[in-house]
Chain A
């Protein structure tokens, strides 16, 4: 049945289009009569617009309209209040889009935006997360639907009684997703029907949101998302750009295209919340954990509650009889945080995997061995056996590949000229989930097949992976299969996010292919087109709730300049257990991409918020640093040949997030090993190292 396409390394299908510049992204489609939108952000943090003077803007050549709360088309109230843009004069945070200027050219739109005069009444604001903020509260649940707090055994008693204890607090700043393509949309209304070309991670849900906001039927909205220049969570749902553009297009009754500027991406489209995380670990003298507590604090906005599940990672990672996790939230006058690659698990694993390293040092035990000692076959949180858990294999194989065996644990004991050299390790895990999807498979008389599904390829290689899965499911060579994704005229499919895309989409594609083969078996060779559809809603919904996770282990070697404190990566190596790997080529790219973003988190990225200004001041790529080409000297990703029959028909766990989870901790642990200095507030920059210790 299988042609063996799954597991084979294919170059991504859209490769030629991407290297020749012919792949079109959201604002690159030629449209007759196009006009240009430019978003105007609020210049105050908290307040109310008292007057908008558009006279000068409208007098500027080329400007067609200034759309604002006083004249914008009305939108329906919906579940996402922050998307109801330009509907009211209230300003909830600095940078909130308060107007859109539409003009016949980009230059005219930008100039017009500069000329809009807005007066505000302002009030006091609070924009900085602290662990003693008076607004701290306990949300009813954390994302997506986890209990806010959990407790098992008696943490306080277990902790007090243990011979080895670690009580440490880690802080992470705001992180900004910064996909290379900004949020961007081309919108056209024709006879009450809306067509948008949009940069998002899931066109089906964007269509549903637009239909709701503009009070039209979903069938009258079409969202095309053929190529997306990255998302990393920030394009997971409909966001401001698509709403503003559709609103502006309706107002001027002409097609409008609008791309947010890089500066406008820092906040209003979401970001990873800053966190303050206290982790307490206790163990016996042999390093066996007896008590674990993880208390996480993060922020949300005044508009919408977004409760990052920061401590959830700790619930299932290592075993201990006494365990507690809590989440507390503060509503600040800030944009609503949103998903960023492994929301919850990523910052949470940084804290826990760093604390485990500190415990290993306190016990006097190798950090790889300590993790292995605390492995568990049963989910400590749910009490059920994991469907598969190969953390230990990842740790052992990683240690072997990395050359960990003879590591001297003594901090600050290795020099290479002016460099202090150190190594670090961290574990990683991420849930393996799937969501309902639908798909269609068609057999053509010429022997070729067409597979259609509204999946999204944000750069993951989704198009290619689904194509391989489809070929195997149809039992034909992939060359005979054509794949169509990225359009709401195709069968509805879930978002590319949460490491769920390939699992969810391939499930529906396999079922559609099976249904098609059944039809063909009955009817002989097709004389016309034969089509079969599948919808996995029932099947996915009926899946037993078992603890399904991918695992990994990161190994890092850094060098730290003894004089300046500059940290450089020597090498980074990850081993992952993520179920079946559909395409080794694109899988490797996803994994090293996640690992590099973890490196970036550890050493470079920081949204610097000025309380007086009430916003991040380093809102561009010159001052918000991300890892660049010169920062990555050696990075390797490996994976186990893992089979897990309790997952989904394709047997995949997802690769989008597992690479970043734990990566920052491995870097931080290596920096400690190199220098003897433990930095518990990311990023680890030279100013922190040089100020803390006389390194030389």
Chain B
């Protein structure tokens, strides 16, 4: 474990909190400086470095994780607000023995190059597919009264919050499309 125990001794105890959070199915308990984001909790205190820090301002999407099943930018979430809640990171997407269909599709379609935005893309896509299945419309949905069909324009719009400087966008869309079609 890096950082954690020592931080607890150096930070002002009046400004720290004990946080219990379920991460990828396991309950984790950690004492945190109240200023700690969910992203930094994962990366610096729980050795879950899958979620990436690309901007720390909610502008790039690299840190996207699922919080109680919904996608959030974990750099914009203070860890003290997730006490008792459930987080799924990229490390929790695969099954015990094999990749999830979405992860496999990302590899098959070469939906990444450097891989730094990829954990965020994957978590975002997972959350997005769930939003679609609930019938949530997007900015490009024509008819708000019927469930959106997951055409490419919908995928592009719904994935627009996750930047990829390598620009694997068409391959990301293909991977998401295939995953949606086979599920």
Contact = CB atoms under 8 A, between A and B. Distances in A.
Interface of A: 11-12, 14-25, 28, 30-34, 36, 61-62, 104-108, 111, 178-182, 227-230, 232, 259, 261-262, 458-461, 585-586, 588-590, 592-593, 595-597, 600, 620-622, 626-635
Contacts of B55: 262, 620-621
A65 to B, nearest CB: 14
Contacts of A178: 165
Q: Which 9 A-B pairs have the closest CB atoms?
A: A21-B50, A229-B116, A459-B114, A18-B115, A459-B113, A596-B167, A21-B90, A28-B49, A621-B59
A571 B2 CA distance: 48
Given A18-B112, A23-B115, A28-B43, A230 B165 contact: yes
A461 B119 CA distance: 18
B107 interface: yes
Given A18-B118, A20-B93, A620-B59, A597 B10 contact: no
Interface stretch (B129-137, B142-150, B168-176): B168-176
Nearest to A634: B170
Contacts of A19: 90, 93, 99, 103, 106-107, 112, 115, 118, 122
B49 A229 contact: no
A281 B103 CA distance: 51
Contacts, number: 204
Nearest to A584: B110
A203 to B, nearest CB: 16
A21 B54 contact: no
Interface string B40-57: 100110011111111111
A21 B48 contact: yes
A460 B113 contact: yes
A461 B169 contact: no
A106 B118 CA distance: 24
A262 B52 CA distance: 13
Contacts of A180: 52, 54, 60, 62, 114, 116-117, 163-166
A31 B6 CA distance: 13
Contacts of A11: 107-108, 110
B145 to A, nearest CB: 23
Contacts of B113: 230, 459-461, 586, 589-590, 593
Given A20-B103, A61-B12, 4 more contacts: A20-B90, A20-B94, A21-B48, A227-B114
B33 A105 contact: yes
The interface centre, meaning the residue of A16, A20, A31 with most chain B CB atoms within 10 A of its CB, is: A20
A420 B36 CA distance: 50
Contacts of B116: 25, 179-181, 229-230, 459
Given A62-B10, A105-B7, A630-B157, A21 B89 contact: yes
Contacts of B44: 105-106
28 contacts: A19-B106, A20-B50, A20-B94, A21-B91, A22-B91, A23-B115, A30-B47, A33-B6, A34-B3, A61-B11, A62-B7, A104-B3, A107-B33, A179-B165, A180-B116, A180-B166, A182-B53, A262-B56, A460-B113, A589-B113, A596-B169, A626-B163, A626-B165, A629-B157, A629-B159, A630-B160, A632-B156, A634-B170
B168 A20 contact: no
A261 B11 contact: no
Interface string B54-82: 11110110100000000000000000000
A17 B99 CA distance: 11
A179 to B, nearest CB: 6
Given A180-B164, A182-B54, A585 B110 contact: yes
B28 interface: no
Nearest to A181: B116
Contacts of B56: 261-262
B52 A622 contact: no
B162 interface: yes
A628 B168 CA distance: 10
Contacts of B57: 262, 620-622
A588 B169 CA distance: 12
Given A597-B167, A621-B55, A107 B62 contact: no
- A interface, by DSSP: helix, strand, loop or mixed? loop
A621 B163 contact: yes
B58 to A, nearest CB: 8
A452 B89 CA distance: 33
B35 interface: yes
A628 B166 contact: no
A629 B164 contact: yes
Contact of A21 (B49, B153, B155): B49
A179 B114 CA distance: 9
B106 to A, nearest CB: 5
A365 B118 CA distance: 45
Nearest to A232: B165
Given A230-B116, A259-B53, A592 B170 contact: yes
B53 to A, nearest CB: 7
Contacts of B108: 11
A107 B107 contact: no
A626 B60 CA distance: 10
Nearest to A595: B167
Contacts of A229: 52, 114-117
B167 A632 contact: yes
A683 to B, nearest CB: 16
A181 B114 contact: yes
B3 A105 contact: yes
Given A227-B115, A622-B59, A588 B110 contact: yes
Contacts of B153: 633
Nearest to B159: A629
A261 B153 CA distance: 32
Contacts of A458: 114
A58 to B, nearest CB: 13
A67 B115 CA distance: 33
Contacts of A621: 54-55, 57, 59-60, 163
B43 to A, nearest CB: 7
Contacts of B12: 61
A105 B44 CA distance: 9
A34 B49 CA distance: 15
Contact of A228 (B40, B99, B114): B114
A62 B4 CA distance: 12
B165 A105 contact: no
A629 B156 contact: yes
